[in-house]
Amino acid sequence: MTALPPPVPVARSSYRESNARRRLAGLLDPGSLEDLLGPAERVTSPHLEPFGIPAAFDDGVVVAAGRLDGRAVLAASQEGGFMGGAVGEVHGAKLLGLLRRAERERPAAVLLLVDSGGVRLQEANAGLVAISEVMRGVLAARAAGVPVIALVGGGWGCFGGMGIVARCCDAIVMSEEGRLGLSGPDVIEATCGVEELDASDRGLVWRTYGGKHRYLLGEADRIVEDDVAAFRVAALELLDAPRPLTLEALAREHAHLAARLEAFGASADALDLWRAAGAAEPERLPMLDAATFRGAVEAARRGDR
């Protein structure tokens, strides 16, 4: 038996392993990234010093203007390496400012590269208020006709209030490695006990929060490989597919969410849910690459796009 030749390595830049700036630079047209309040401005959080935490010159988020296939976009990229991308007063205000700018400038889209555990506890109250302002800002930008697209594939995932923010957007792009939810596994375990959710059970955590499950449910609109270029392609596809904020569109979404609860409300685990959705051999799904997975769950997937 002849051994197969090793696969040809494809030039690929891991989205997950890249930092916030590299993700954003790779997503936008080359050389088009233009900081709106860059690290040189040194706008830092004054609220970390009492905790003995050194500040970051961008407070953990890059906000920028740029181009996507030649079209003007605005974008934010959260830096998971700084406080887990958590939202404090300055960080949140940068996101809010970007969305207000979008309302005024009407770019082709706002891209939110989310990598965040949610509210920054060292600035708890201001973080919560900021998340609320960002939710209002996302919905205001959408109402003004600017699509807002969330990209989730960083190591911290998209949790806490940022999980709600992402679902206030027009669309979500996820990688298999991306995780999306409200109360993260550690929070559930700490609050409800290890018998409710064992945060160290990686398979369980992945099945519950991971990109494949979110795509199958219809929570994520696209699932892509862990590759900056793949995220770029998906963002491009979604530029011209806004979800209108109309009664008809929200009634449709409502019916979709009601049907999910009806169909899967009794599922104890994602595997049961996938089986109930009609996915063949659900235990195989974790092993498939994104393209094969998309094909395998096409019929079982909920959601209209």
CB closer to another protein, 179 vs 232: 179
Q: Least CB distance from residue 104 to another protein, whole Å? A: 5
The correct pick among 31, 261, 287, 298 for binding another protein (CB under 8 A) is 261
Which residues between 50 and 79 bind another protein (CB under 8 A)?
50-51, 63
Query: Closest approach of Cβ 13 to another protein, in Å?
Result: 27
* Cβ-based nearer residue to another protein, 13 or 44: 44
The nearest distance, CB 16 to another protein, in angstroms, is: 20
What's the closest the beta carbon of residue 182 comes to another protein, in angstroms? 4
Closer of 117 and 290 to another protein (Cβ): 117
List binders of another protein among 201-260 (CB under 8 A). Answer: 208-209, 213-214, 217, 219, 245-247, 250-251, 253-254, 257-258, 260
Q: What is the 3-state secondary structure (H, E, C) of the chain?
A: CCCCCCCCCCCCCCCCCCCHHHHHHHHCCCCCCEECCCHHHCCCCCCCHHHCCCCCCCCCEEEEEEEECCEEEEEEEECCCCHHHCECHHHHHHHHHHHHHHHHHCCCEEEEEECECCECHHHHHHHHHHHHHHHHHHHHHHHCCCCEEEEECCCCCECCHHHHHHCCCCEEEEECCCEECCCCHHHHHHHHCCCCCCCCCHHHHHHHHEHHHHHHHCCCCEEECCCHHHHHHHHHHHCCCCCCCCHHHHHHHHHHHHHHHHHHCCCCCHHHHHHHHCCCCHHHHHHCCHHHHHHHCCCCCCCCC
* For another protein, the closer CB: 190 or 291: 190
Q: Give yes or no for residue 191 binding another protein (CB under 8 A).
A: yes
**Binding window for another protein (CB under 8 A); candidates: 12-20, 124-132, 227-235, 282-290:** 124-132
Q: How many CB atoms lie within 10 A of CB 132?
A: 15
Query: Toward another protein, which CB reaches closer, 185 or 232?
Result: 185
Q: Which is nearer to another protein, 140 or 229 (CB)?
A: 140
Name which of 221 and 227 has its Cβ closer to another protein.
221
The interface region with another protein, picked from 1-9, 108-116, 125-133, 227-235 by CB under 8 A, is 125-133
Q: For 66, phi and psi rounded to 5 degrees?
A: -170, -165
The distance of closest approach from Cβ of residue 8 to another protein in the complex, given in angstroms and rounded to an integer, is 38
Would you tell me how many other CB atoms lie within 10 Å of the CB of residue 20?
22
Residue 114 or 224 having the CB closest to another protein:
114
The binder of another protein chosen from 104, 202, 284, 305 (CB under 8 A): 104
CB of 229 to another protein, least distance (A): 27
Q: Which stretch binds another protein (CB under 8 A): 25-33, 114-122, 233-241, 276-284?
A: 114-122
Q: Which of 17, 34, 269, 281 is close enough to bind another protein by CB under 8 A?
A: 269
Asked whether the beta carbons of 86 and 51 are under 8 A apart, the reply is no
Phi, psi of 41 (to 5 degrees): -75, -20
Per CB under 8 A, contacts with another protein among 143-182 are 143-145, 160-161, 163-168, 180-182
**Helices 270-277, 247-264: crossing angle, 10 deg rounding:** 110
> Judged by CB, which is closer to another protein: 23, or 179?
179
